[in-house]
Structure 1
Amino acid sequence: MPSNPSDVLIVGAGVSGLTTGFRLARQGLRVRIRAEDAPGSTNSAAAGAIWDPIYAEHPRVGVWAARSYKVFSRMTERGFPGVRLVDGIEASRDPMETPEWARLLPGYRECELRELPPGFEHGWHYRAPIIDMPPYLARLEQLVREAGGDFEFGVHLSSLADADAPIVVNCSGAGAHDLVPDPEVTPIRGQLVQIRNHGVTDFFAEHTPELGEMVYLLPQGDTILLGGSAEPGIADPEPDPAVAAAIIERCISIFPWIEQAEVVGHRGGIRPSRPKIRLEHEEADGRHVVHNYGHSGAGVSLSWGCADDVTDLVLGLLGRERKEDGAE
């Protein structure tokens, strides 16, 4: 164990844990992040990570999503590793009204039917942050360290009662099912197929009312991530070849050129599904616990907004006011 005491212990080193740790460390707090896996081995590292906040429930989703969009946009301007603003189309197979949040985004316009792939009835164009997660998480970890935070990896907590800090921030994702314990948290495995990119610059995302077997193409420089899938109740992130084949088949049915593309990799990860995001403070086992988990498929999209709310809760517990840290 580190000899230096911490003001805050963060459980989890995925995107929520790192973003929250960065915000708290920049406020001058002594932050320690404890996790079983280093950031590059977390479920966050496997995410396709297009900004899309629709697969999460909470009254503040709109606020958190807008805040995160703003931060990602600034990161793009500053050349933050892995972060880009990409133009593209989101489309539905059924007639629908364009969501209000989409109408507010840069580059928004309604699509004409001729712009949509066969079988799609409605779509809209906009500009969205797309994040290449491995380099993004690596840079976030570095920033936390530079701000004075430290890390413990390879550590398994069986209970939050084992946490040794006056304030614990629970960013354990799907692990919250056992750690809290919280039976409302259920795992949903998602998979992506990585193919060689020969010039695609715009994304395509199928709009569905809930996570499922949708189609999306996310350009990541020299490669494209194909999706997607959602397998409720499966907690093993190892990609399933049959699911990967089905993803490719669905994508080929819309974009036939994919049949000739070279497959260069596969990704699998676990989304921490919950009927409602849990971001709140409670007193448990003689310490303060601030929960930040249950983001379903929108953890990256909401990460900065949620981190700001957690920071305000923690500072309030310490009787401090937020100072502008001048960093994203």
Structure 2
Amino acid sequence: MPATPNLPTPDFTFDADQPGACIAGVRPYRNGSYRLDAETISSKFFVHNYGHGGAGITLSWGCASKVRDIVRSHLVGSPDTKVAVLGAGVMGLTAATLLADLGLTVTIYSDRPPLQTTSSKAGGQWAVSVVEFAGKRQELTDIIKFAYTTFKASIGQGFGVSERPNYSATPSHNLDVVIQLAPGLIKPRQSLPREPFEGHTKPGFVYQTLLIEPPIFLAKLEADLRARGITFVNKRFVDKSDIIASVPETIVVNCTGLGSMMLMSDPKMVPIKGQLAMLPPQPALQYLYGQDGYLFPRADHVVIGGTFEVGVNNETPDKSVCQDLVRHIASQFGKAAAKPLPDIHIHNPDHAPIVNPQIPEV
């Protein structure tokens, strides 16, 4: 049997001192599960849509469809025609898009433009990453089905979505959970006698999934919303009472992610810092790769990431961490000396529940 030819090897040349070469974001993880529900507070109808961990982009369209359904049901007995969306990340933009489809007047309030939100600092693989769903199995199944089919239908439409194989040394929980919840949505993983890369000699696996490139996706969503007359308001809220006092709309869709830890006084929210090394783009690379970290070739950069710092709530990158990330992935291809990784590089391999050391468990 002929040997499987190797796929192109990445160029791991990396200068952490270059502007934008090392970035950091904070995942809005929520203990137990994400929040997707509604409540009335001081005559305002709040819909909450936050706490999606590292799966915000992945779940976005599906969660937006649930938000749309909640608001549509509310409108049956309400004269409201206007809605406020808090947050201009992927959850806010997709929710605003589907709410506008209902004929509502939508205003988006955010203290950051879309391309400066946490969503813009995601790797972009479609996978259910770092999110729990206790008691929400059927709901999550519906969400991932709607999200995946919407993303797949948008391929070639300027949203930065493409189909990609993902090669991994071990089974990926983040993709296996999709296969378990929604059989047939993506192809089952295939076992490989050897991953098809330089320096690789051991067995591995390949999945078929999607890559959503955040800079393209967010920019397209924003442009489409502005073209439809959606207003963006630069606004930073202090707390829940500030929202109630300063937002004129009576329907408020809360997509503030980690901001809900303070705005909604939600003690279940846990910040999880992640750092990314951004290499120059390499168009010849058309695969995703994971092994105690990941490598995602995009149009703008080859993104290397996978760090996991529970309870760390800052967006200050560490150049040495980024350099270690690159060195680690390069070592798998025989392009750098192998080196033990600090714990922050291990991307929750057992998918265990996460407890924030700074926030009491409730």
What band does the TM-score fall into relative to the shorter chain?
A: 0.5 to 0.7
Describe the SS at the equivalent of 2:96: helix
Q: Distance in 1 between matches of 2:300 and 2:223?
A: 25
Q: 1:176 aligns with which of 240, 246, 260?
A: 260
Q: Relative to 1, partners in 2 of residues 1:18 and 1:225: Cα closer, same or farther, differing over 3 Å? A: same
Q: Distance in 2 between matches of 1:18 and 1:100?
A: 26
2:111 maps to 1:36: yes
1:174 Cα deviation after fit: 0.5
Partner of 1:127: 208
Q: What amino acid does structure 2 have at the position aligned with 1:242?
A: S
Superposition TM-score, scaled by structure 2 size: 0.61
1:254 Cα deviation after fit: 1.1
- In terms of mean alpha carbon deviation, does 245-254 or 34-43 score higher? 245-254
1:149 Cα deviation after fit: 1.8
Q: Distance in 2 between matches of 1:240 and 1:181?
A: 30
Deviations 1:7-54 (A, max 9, x none): 211110000000000110111011111010010111111111100114
Task: Show structure 2 runs of 5+ residues with no match.
Answer: 1-79, 338-352, 355-362
Paired residues, number: 246
Task: Show structure 1 runs of 5+ residues with no match.
Answer: 207-213, 260-274, 277-328
1:71 Cα deviation after fit: 0.9
1:56 Cα deviation after fit: 1.1
Deviations 1:188-231 (A, max 9, x none): 1111111134421111124xxxxxxx321111136311111111
- In terms of mean alpha carbon deviation, does 5-14 or 45-54 score higher? 5-14
Q: Distance in 2 between matches of 1:157 and 1:113?
A: 55
The question of whether the paired residues in 2 share the 8 Å contact of 1:86 and 1:127 is answered with yes
Partner of 1:141: 222
Describe the SS at the equivalent of 2:279: strand
Superposition TM-score, scaled by structure 1 size: 0.67
Partner of 2:239: 158
Q: How does 1:183-194 map to 2 (within 5 A)?
A: 183-194=267-278
Structure with bigger gyration radius: 2
Describe the SS at the equivalent of 1:256: coil
Q: Distance in 2 between matches of 1:108 and 1:181?
A: 40
The question of whether the paired residues in 1 share the 8 Å contact of 2:96 and 2:108 is answered with yes
Q: What CA RMSD, in Å, does the superposition of the two structures yield over aligned residues?
A: 2.8
Q: Distance in 2 between matches of 1:115 and 1:105?
A: 24
Describe the SS at the equivalent of 1:155: coil
The question of whether the paired residues in 1 share the 8 Å contact of 2:278 and 2:303 is answered with yes
Q: Relative to 1, partners in 2 of residues 1:72 and 1:100: Cα closer, same or farther, differing over 3 Å? A: same
Partner of 1:270: none
Q: 1:104 aligns with which of 160, 184, 192?
A: 184
Q: How does 1:85-104 map to 2 (within 5 A)?
A: 85-92=163-170, 99=176, 101-102=178-179, 104=184
Q: Distance in 1 between matches of 2:142 and 2:168?
A: 21
Describe the SS at the equivalent of 1:127: strand
Q: Distance in 2 between matches of 1:120 and 1:191?
A: 28
